[in-house]
Amino acid sequence: MTGAAVTASVYYSTVKINKTKYPVFGVDVSNYQGVIDWQTLEDQDVSFAFIKATEGSGHTDESLIRNLEGASETGIKISAYHFFSFDSAGETQADNFIASVPKDAIDMPPVVDIEYYADKRHHKPSKEEAKKILRPLLNELEEYYGVKPIIYTTLPVYYRYVKESFSDYPLWIRSVAFEPDLLDWKFWQYCDSGELEGYYGDEKCIDFNVYNGTKEEFLKEFK
């Protein structure tokens, strides 16, 4: 969508989202959204944001600090996410995230984003390989931030790597075709082609998410 500022009634029409059932709306962003006017996002009923922080053991998103600082000047609740690598140790991935995201910079638990990339969809790592990397990563983040990390994932990756060994972690699920009502999820990424006002990068779209609960429950959980 382009043009006039987008209102809550518009962005919920992107897919069939029940606004009464899921009144808490949020976004996730990275360097692709460029410079972000966080107040403008808040004015469009954005209540939370997941900000890309790191990838693997050595990459930090170049907009991370600017986004953390900008979002912190609003009432938007903030988290930061790490893009999981099947190709480096969980311990060094945790070190990368911890070095990049101060404890007091986020209001919600940190996130580990585990999904297929490059040729991994066709050459899937084994469950044991993934577990050997993911377990120490999650453990170190929990120890440092004092809270269980959220796991973001897609449905195929959830059923292959997460359900059996990591179902006790809060789940942020990507499902842009239908509501994942058979899963116990905390956040749902329901749209990857949304548009709002207030960001000025190469990517015109922004991901839309909802929290599984009321506004009161959200504010109580993430004080």
Lowest mean pLDDT among 89-93, 108-112, 202-206: 202-206
pLDDT one-digit tens code per residue, 114-123: 999 999 999 9
pLDDT one-digit tens code per residue, 95-111: 999 999 999 999 999 99
* Whether domain 58-191+216-221 has CATH 3.20.20.80: yes
pLDDT one-digit tens code per residue, 50-62: 999 999 999 999 9
Hey, where are the domains in the chain?
58-191+216-221
Identify whether the C-beta of residue 25 lies closer than 8 Å to the C-beta of residue 8: yes
pLDDT one-digit tens code per residue, 153-198: 999 999 999 999 999 999 999 999 999 999 999 999 999 999 999 9
Residues belonging to the active site: 115
pTM over 0.85: yes
Burial class (CB in 10 A: 0-12, 13-18, 19+), 126: exposed
